[in-house]
Chain A
Amino acid sequence: MASRRRMLLKVIILGDSGVGKTSLMNQYVNKKFSNQYKATIGADFLTKEVQIDDRLFTLQIWDTAGQERFQSLGVAFYRGADCCVLVYDVNVMKSFDHLNNWREEFLIQASPSDPENFPFVVLGNKIDVDGGNGRVVSEKKARAWCASKGNIPYFETSAKEGFNVEAAFECIAKNALKNEPEEEIYMPDTIDVAGGGRQARSAAGCEC
Chain B
Amino acid sequence: MDSNPDNPVQDQDPASESDEPSPADPNQNRTDTTEPDDPPPADSDINPTQTSESVEHNTVEPESSVPERLKSLTLQEPSSEDIRQKHVSNGSLPADFYASDEIEIVEEEEEEGGLASSSGGGGVVTWTNRSDGPPSPSSSGYAAEGGSSVASSGGVEEETEGNSDWGREKKHFHEDDGSDSWRKRKKHFFILSNSGKPIYSRYGDEHKLAGFSATLQAIISFVQNSGDSIKFVRAGKHLIIFLVKGPIYLVCISCTDEPIEALRGQLELLYGQMLLILTKSVNRCFEKNPKFDMAPLLGGTDAVFSSLIHSFSWNPATFLHAYTCLPLSYPTRQAASAILQDVAESGILFAILMCKHKVVSLVGAQKASLHPDDIFLLANFILSSESFRTSESFSPICLPRYNPMAFLYAYVHFLDLDTYLVLLTTSSDSFYHLKDCRVRVQNVLAKSNVLSEIQRSMLESGLRIEDLPSEPTRPPVERINTESISTQRTVGGSAGLCHFMYKSVYLNQFVSSDFSAPLKNPNQQKRLYRAYQKMYASMHDKGTGTHKTQFRRNQDYVLFCWITQDFELYATFDPLADKAQAIKVCNRVCQWVRDLENEIFLYAESTFSW
Contacts and interface: CB of A to CB of B under 8 A. Distances in A.
A82 B211 CA distance: 15
Interface string A117-157: 00000000000000000000000000000000000000000
Contacts of A75: 221, 225
A186 to B, nearest CB: 6
B407 A189 contact: yes
Contacts of A186: 278, 281-282, 285, 297
A190 B293 CA distance: 23
A43 B218 contact: yes
Contacts of B195: 10, 79-81
A181 B285 CA distance: 11
Interface stretch (B307-315, B398-406, B530-538): B398-406
B431 interface: no
Contact of B349 (A47, A181, A189, A193): A193
Given A8-B198, A10-B196, A198-B403, A73 B295 contact: no
Given A5-B295, A191-B426, A58 B281 contact: no
Given A5-B296, A197-B367, A208-B284, A190 B428 contact: yes
Contact of B408 (A3, A112, A190, A208): A190
Interface in A1-57: 1, 3, 5-8, 10, 42-43, 45-47, 49
Contacts of B295: 5, 8
A77 interface: yes
B408 A47 contact: no
A188 B290 contact: no
Contact of A80 (B207, B291, B398): B291
A110 B290 CA distance: 9
A80 B365 contact: no
B214 interface: yes
B548 interface: no
B255 to A, nearest CB: 23
Contacts of A170: none
A43 B292 CA distance: 22
A62 interface: yes
A45 B210 contact: yes
A60 B197 contact: yes
Contacts, number: 139
Contact of A200 (B196, B208, B403, B409): B403
B139 interface: no
A76 to B, nearest CB: 3
Interface string B288-304: 11111101110100000
Contact of A1 (B212, B225, B296): B296
B224 interface: yes
Given A73-B225, A186-B297, A192 B426 contact: yes
A207 interface: yes
B217 interface: yes
Nearest to A80: B195
A10 B368 CA distance: 43
Given A189-B406, A193-B349, A81 B291 contact: yes
Contact of B222 (A58, A76, A198): A76
A62 B194 CA distance: 14
Contacts of B280: 188
Contacts of B289: 113, 181
Contacts of A77: 218, 221
Contact of A73 (B215, B218, B284, B297): B218
Contacts of A181: 289, 291
Contacts of B198: 8
A208 B214 CA distance: 25
A193 B279 CA distance: 17
A10 B210 CA distance: 9
A79 B290 contact: yes
A73 B288 CA distance: 23
A7 B349 contact: no
A76 B426 contact: no
Contacts of B28: none
B313 to A, nearest CB: 29
Contacts of A200: 403, 405-406
A58 B291 contact: no
A110 B210 CA distance: 19
B193 interface: yes
B221 A76 contact: yes
Contacts of A193: 349, 365, 368, 426
Contacts of B221: 73, 75-77, 79
A197 B366 CA distance: 10
Contacts of B409: 190
A72 B224 CA distance: 12
A188 B406 contact: yes
22 contacts: A3-B296, A8-B207, A8-B295, A10-B214, A45-B214, A47-B208, A49-B207, A58-B207, A60-B196, A60-B213, A60-B214, A72-B225, A73-B221, A75-B221, A76-B224, A79-B196, A80-B196, A82-B291, A113-B288, A188-B407, A193-B365, A193-B368
Q: Which 9 A-B pairs have the closest CB atoms?
A: A80-B195, A76-B221, A188-B281, A45-B211, A200-B406, A60-B210, A58-B207, A45-B214, A189-B406
